[in-house]
Amino acid sequence: MIRAEFLQSEGKYRGFRVKGHAGYAESGQDIVCASVSSAVMLAANIITDGFKRDADVFADNDAVSCVAAEADEVTEAVIGMLRAQFEAVLEEFPDTIKITISEV
């Protein structure tokens, strides 16, 4: 299962951490993992490259995180849309993603 943790500061999205595998299909054939990976990288790139927000980004074979130095309207919007995308994936592919929210 993919674990997606959304990080909030004073009720506004500031970052996210995503790790794990959906287990929907074999590695390399899993459309849920591909969808989530693409959305995560797009969100991180929009925050850091598109809107030039200061953020710590980490990626390896099993996890990606992006935590902005500050929560603002850009990070709030982009990360909110990422969460909405994950919820849409969950509607189509139940039990593939666990979403949590943490205060930082």
Name the superfamily (CATH) of residues 2-103.
Answer: Cysteine protease Prp (3.30.70.1490)
CB 36 within 8 A of CB 92: no
Q: Would you write out the chain's pLDDT as a tens digit for each of its 104 residues?
A: 999 999 999 999 999 999 999 999 998 899 999 999 999 999 999 999 999 999 999 999 889 999 999 999 999 999 999 999 999 999 999 999 999 999 99
Q: Where are the domains of the chain?
A: 2-103
Tokens of 89: 């994936």
- Does the pTM surpass 0.85? The reply is yes
* Separation CA 51–CA 74 (nearest Å): 8
Predicted confidence at residue 61, as pLDDT, reads 86
| pLDDT for residue 27 | 86
